[in-house]
Amino acid sequence: MASASLGLASKLSPFSKTNFLSSADLNSNQILSLFELAKQLKGGNRRIDLGNRVLGLIFKKASTRTRVSFQVAMARLGGQTVDLNPQVTQLGRGEPIKDTARVLSRYCDALAIRTFSQQELEEYAMWSDIPVINALTDHEHPCQALADYLTIQEKFGTLKGINLSYIGDGNNVANSLMICGAMLGVNVRVCSPKGFEAASDVIEKARSLSEFGSNISIFNDPLKAIKGSQVIYTDVWASMGQEEEYNKRKEIFEQYKVDQKLIDLADKDVIILHCLPAHRGEEITEEAIESKNSYVFEQAENRLHVQQALLAVQLGGL
């Protein structure tokens, strides 16, 4: 492909080794280049052979989309994945990350890690000689945000000036949407109940990275947040690791359900996104997720294409 702009492998991340720990590890040019490559891969116009490279998967939480899309992405790139479930490795018996990371660096070519704390992910990155990818932490879900903005770009033909309203908990998915969206010129409105707003340091980080006039704003009232939105986004009310808070959160978030009443207040061409898995009848109604406005399966599919592009860059396939 003619993409000189894709000669970005050596500068993908300020954290070196082309890590992708946060949405902030890519700049807007790099993200848009990844989207171009993802679209070529999706359309069958580009083949990349990584030649037997191996991606290790360390997942401390359940996953369907992230795990399988990484596995299929590596298979399509001529590589492989190895499942390093902490329950069947010495990690589960307390082997330190600094030892595990240095050993795995000698077997694998990259690691995709899903865990709880961002600090733990950063510790892996610090001790690894190979790229580390954030496959979701409590703090961020940067691969998800790439797929989300690729989906929006495909639908609207542009990202600049798009109004995206995220209705729900101000945590990992919202954080990556703010940071990535700010760089792409998307106006991201995050609407959460009082006490569940995104952390102020993440909001400030997103604002500091804002390009093309992007505006990052915080709301508590969904009826106000939704006005003029081209994208409505929601996520579960109780994330993985918050199961004990489920009943309390169900009451607190009741007014934050994406239903037809809310959708009617948005732009007439609005699309509805959800990272999935969805809890129908809670954060989104069955009617909304199954409506013609819903792009959740296009969005889920794009996890594969954009992660395949990311891996191709990180593993030197270009």
Indicate the helix (H) or strand (E) that contains 182.
Answer: helix 172-184
State the Cα–Cα distance between residues 205 and 179, nearest whole angstrom: 7
Residue 299 makes contact with ligand CP by CB under 6 A: no
State the Cα–Cα distance between residues 277 and 275, nearest whole angstrom: 7
> Residue 239: which of ligand NVA, ligand CP, none does it interact with, CB under 5 to 8 A by kind?
ligand NVA
Residue 285 makes contact with ligand CP by CB under 6 A: no
> Residue 64: which of ligand CP, ligand NVA, none does it interact with, CB under 5 to 8 A by kind?
ligand CP
- Could you tell me the two tokens for 217? 């704003």
- Could you tell me the two tokens for 83? 């499942």
Instruction: Fill in the per-residue mask, 66 to 105: x = in contact with ligand CP (CB under 6 A), - = not in contact.
Output: x---------------------------------------
Residue 144 makes contact with ligand CP by CB under 6 A: yes
235 as an active site residue: the answer is: yes
275 as an active site residue: the answer is: yes
State the Cα–Cα distance between residues 251 and 237, nearest whole angstrom: 10
Q: Which of 187, 239, 294, 302 binds ligand NVA (CB under 6 A)?
A: 239
191 as an active site residue: the answer is: no
- Could you tell me the two tokens for 43? 């359309």
State the Cα–Cα distance between residues 206 and 174, nearest whole angstrom: 11
* CB of 48 or CB of 110, closer to ligand CP: 110
- Could you tell me the two tokens for 114? 């899903």
> Residue 228: which of ligand NVA, ligand CP, none does it interact with, CB under 5 to 8 A by kind?
none
Q: Which of 32, 82, 276, 318 binds ligand CP (CB under 6 A)?
A: 276
Q: For the chain, what's the residue count?
A: 318
Residue 235 makes contact with ligand NVA by CB under 6 A: yes
- Reduced to 3 states, what is the DSSP secondary structure of residue 239? coil
Indicate the helix (H) or strand (E) that contains 245.
Answer: none
* CB of 81 or CB of 144, closer to ligand CP: 144
Q: Which of 178, 236, 306, 310 binds ligand NVA (CB under 6 A)?
A: 236
When CB distances to ligand NVA are compared, the closest residue is 239
- Could you tell me the two tokens for 310? 């990311």
Contacting ligand NVA within 264-283 (CB under 6 A)? 275
Residue 64 makes contact with ligand CP by CB under 6 A: yes
CA 309 to each of CA 9, 228, 304: distance values in angstroms, whole numbers, following the listed order: 11, 32, 9
- Paired with 111 in beta bridges are 56, 132
Name the site residues for ligand CP (rule: CB under 6 A): 63-66, 136, 144, 275-277
